[in-house]
């Protein structure tokens, strides 16, 4: 553990070998929260030592996603920028006899496992001289862990002096950057003993380690590619209209809780409440349904302007044009759209399923649809619709826009009927033309008295 007056330095070190993954996102988040809460430094370091697999495209994706999420770093490095330092330390270890250049030709035949590709193997590599001791560290999350490194053998730390491998490069960089706390996924536990050995060989201060639980798919298998329609790429959550803070909020909640019954947090609130001691030991399942719920809670907290802007962004072309032309109507639909979505791409679905069009344009439908449950005679329906039209006639435009007032006026009539549905169903159908839609009072409050009168008349004419 560190002194309380020692400044905390953490890093998030993704390798740009794939699109930014939600699992990595949580590692970044926990590092960020831990650092920010204690006024420490959060470093972003791109681990690009694997020249074959690293791509600029992936680095750009990581950076863009992090920016979208609002996880801002205090310092930025690429591991490849530190080649000289890696080389220097590698030479130092070899000079001190703590590592050695190993000729592989003799050992090759027996050592090579089936998955290793013989053609890519070199005739010499740099191996770490394993002191074969028991390494113990007190994990910030898991508690004491001890591993006998004897069976690790003299593991390879570099292909040559210019090509360090992961375990060595990480220790070299973390040392150079004075990283005090290494927070990473539990899939790194098995790397830790090797790294501790390297720290000790370098005579460097060993940082504190905290291995956070992994995130699993619904079938409890590793979160990989597209499973159960769930994507692992952070980018897709942005594309689908999730709010960055909602995603962060949800990710924080799998593997951590504040110890209270609060569940919805802004990034700022997460920083205030976070505690590494309350991080879970066991892995958690990524539950998309709950994510959607969290997202909806965050949507509710947005300002009306923000909500409008976001909805507009996800309108399909056709609806967007209608909304532009009739923005007064659009403004009035917004609260009703909000009721029907959990993520903003739901808005696009609403458009595609025709659940918004009737607000802008009179619907077309079959006359028989006007009959409630198909049992009411046209003559009766006609009577009801004419009556409703008359009631509206006596209401002001303003009264029609007030759902409660309107409902009261119409109910005065429909409540006298044996079945209100006989009148209210055709009323609603004449306005929306759909089997399932918002109620006629809501629609009236959006489209206004005149338009309703017209639609009512069209229905009456159809009967």
| Binding to RNA in span 205-264, by CB under 7 A | 213-214, 216, 220-222, 253-257, 259, 261, 263
Q: Based on CB atoms, which residue is closest to RNA, 222 or 349?
A: 222
Q: Based on CB atoms, which residue is closest to RNA, 167 or 175?
A: 167
Collapsing DSSP to helix, strand or coil, 96 comes out as: coil
The verdict on 15 binding RNA (CB under 7 A) reads yes
| DSSP notation for 178-214 | T--EEEEEGGGGGGHHHHHHHHHHHTPPPPEEEEEPP
Q: Based on CB atoms, which residue is closest to RNA, 88 or 340?
A: 340
Nearest-approach distance from CB 175 to RNA, in angstroms: 16
Size of the site for RNA (CB under 7 A): 78
Q: Which of residues 295-324 bind RNA (CB under 7 A)?
A: none
Nearest-approach distance from CB 48 to RNA, in angstroms: 7
Q: What's the rounded Cα separation, in Å, for the pair 390 and 427?
A: 13
Q: Based on CB atoms, which residue is closest to RNA, 56 or 220?
A: 220
Q: Based on CB atoms, which residue is closest to RNA, 39 or 115?
A: 115
Q: What's the rounded Cα separation, in Å, for the pair 84 and 183?
A: 26
CA atoms 347, 349, 351, 354: torsion sign: negative
Nearest-approach distance from CB 1 to RNA, in angstroms: 17
Give me the phi and psi of 413, to 5 degrees please: -90, -55
Q: Based on CB atoms, which residue is closest to RNA, 320 or 336?
A: 336
Q: Based on CB atoms, which residue is closest to RNA, 49 or 231?
A: 49
Could you report how far apart the first and last alpha carbons of the chain are, in Å? 82
Angle between helix 244-253 and helix 22-37 axes, rounded to 10 deg:
90
Q: Based on CB atoms, which residue is closest to RNA, 317 or 368?
A: 368
| Closest to 155 (Cα-Cα) out of 188, 211, 193, 184 | 193
The verdict on 285 binding RNA (CB under 7 A) reads yes
Q: Based on CB atoms, which residue is closest to RNA, 218 or 240?
A: 218
Q: 5, 289, 375, 416: which one contacts RNA (CB under 7 A)?
A: 289
Q: Which of residues 342-371 bind RNA (CB under 7 A)?
A: none
For residues 387 to 426, the per-residue mask of contacts with RNA, x marking binding by CB under 7 A and - elsewhere, is ---------------------------x-----xx--xx-
Q: 60, 96, 148, 331: which one contacts RNA (CB under 7 A)?
A: 148
Name beta bridge partners: 42: 10
Collapsing DSSP to helix, strand or coil, 122 comes out as: coil
Only segment of 82-90, 116-124, 236-244, 453-461 that touches RNA (CB under 7 A): 116-124
Only segment of 83-91, 241-249, 286-294, 453-461 that touches RNA (CB under 7 A): 286-294
Rounded to 5°, angle at Cα 158 from 153 and 161: 135
For residues 22 to 61, the per-residue mask of contacts with RNA, x marking binding by CB under 7 A and - elsewhere, is -------------------------x-xx--x--------
For residues 59 to 98, the per-residue mask of contacts with RNA, x marking binding by CB under 7 A and - elsewhere, is --------------------x-------------------
Nearest-approach distance from CB 347 to RNA, in angstroms: 13
Q: 190, 275, 321, 396: which one contacts RNA (CB under 7 A)?
A: 190
Residue listed under structure tokens 């976001």: 310
Q: E strands, 72-225, where?
A: 75-78, 99-103, 124-128, 134-139, 143-148, 156-160, 163-164, 181-185, 208-212, 215-216
Can you read off the two tokens belonging to residue 353?
A: 């399923």
Q: What's the rounded Cα separation, in Å, for the pair 369 and 314?
A: 31
Quickly count: other Cβ atoms within 10 Å of residue 35's Cβ: 25
Name beta bridge partners: 164: 158
Classify burial at 415, counting beta carbons within 10 Å of its beta carbon; exposed 0-12, middle 13-18, buried 19 or more. Answer: exposed
Contact 58, 21 (CB under 8 A): no
The verdict on 327 binding RNA (CB under 7 A) reads no
| DSSP notation for 6-48 | SPPEEEE---SSSSPBHHHHHHHHHHHHHHHHTT-EEEEEE--
Nearest-approach distance from CB 207 to RNA, in angstroms: 17
Q: 44, 372, 385, 392: which one contacts RNA (CB under 7 A)?
A: 372
């Amino acid at each position: 553990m560190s002194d309380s007056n020692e400044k905390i330095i953490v890093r998030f070190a993704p390798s740009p070998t794939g699109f930014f993954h939600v699992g990595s996102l949580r590692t970044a988040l926990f590092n960020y929260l831990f650092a920010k809460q204690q006024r420490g430094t959060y470093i972003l370091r791109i681990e690009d030592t694997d020249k074959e697999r690293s791509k600029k495209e992936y680095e750009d994706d990581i950076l863009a996603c992090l920016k979208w999420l609002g996880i801002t770093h205090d310092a930025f490095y690429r591991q490849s920028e530190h080649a000289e330092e890696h080389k220097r330390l590698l030479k130092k270890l070899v000079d001190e006899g703590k590592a050695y250049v190993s000729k592989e030709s003799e050992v090759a035949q027996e050592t090579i496992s089936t998955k290793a590709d013989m053609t890519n193997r070199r005739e010499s590599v740099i191996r770490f001289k394993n002191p074969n001791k028991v390494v113990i560290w007190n994990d910030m999350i898991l508690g004491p862990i001890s591993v006998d490194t004897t069976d690790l053998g003299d593991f390879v730390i570099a292909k040559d002096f210019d090509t360090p491998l992961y375990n060595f490069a990480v220790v070299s960089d973390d040392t150079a950057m004075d990283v005090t706390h290494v927070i990473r996924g539990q899939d790194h536990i098995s790397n830790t003993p090797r790294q501790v050995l390297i720290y000790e060989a370098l005579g460097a201060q060993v940082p504190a380690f905290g291995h956070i639980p992994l995130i699993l798919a619904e079938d409890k298998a590793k979160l990989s590619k597209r499973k159960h329609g769930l994507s692992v790429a952070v980018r897709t959550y942005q594309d689908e209209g999730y709010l960055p803070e909602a995603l962060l909020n949800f990710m924080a909640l799998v593997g951590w809780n504040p110890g209270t019954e609060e569940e919805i947090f802004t990034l700022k609130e997460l920083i205030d409440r976070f505690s590494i001691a309350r991080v879970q030991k066991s892995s958690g399942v990524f539950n998309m349904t709950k994510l959607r719920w969290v997202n909806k809670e965050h949507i509710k907290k947005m300002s009306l302007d923000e909500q409008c802007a976001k909805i507009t962004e996800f309108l399909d072309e056709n609806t967007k044009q209608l909304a532009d032309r009739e923005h007064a109507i659009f403004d009035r639909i917004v609260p009703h759209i909000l009721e029907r979505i959990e993520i903003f791409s739901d808005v696009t679905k609403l458009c595609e399923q025709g659940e918004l069009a009737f607000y802008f344009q009179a619907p077309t439908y079959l006359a028989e649809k006007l009959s409630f449950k198909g049992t009411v005679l046209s003559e009766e329906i006609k009577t009801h619709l004419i009556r409703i039209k008359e009631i509206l006639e006596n209401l002001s435009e303003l009264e029609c826009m007030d759902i409660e007032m309107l409902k009261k006026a119409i109910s005065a009539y429909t409540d006298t009927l044996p079945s209100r549905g006989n009148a209210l169903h055709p009323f609603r159908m004449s306005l929306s033309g759909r089997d399932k839609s918002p109620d006629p009072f809501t629609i009236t409050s959006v489209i206004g008295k005149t338009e309703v009168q017209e639609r009512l008349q069209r229905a009456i004419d159809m009967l």
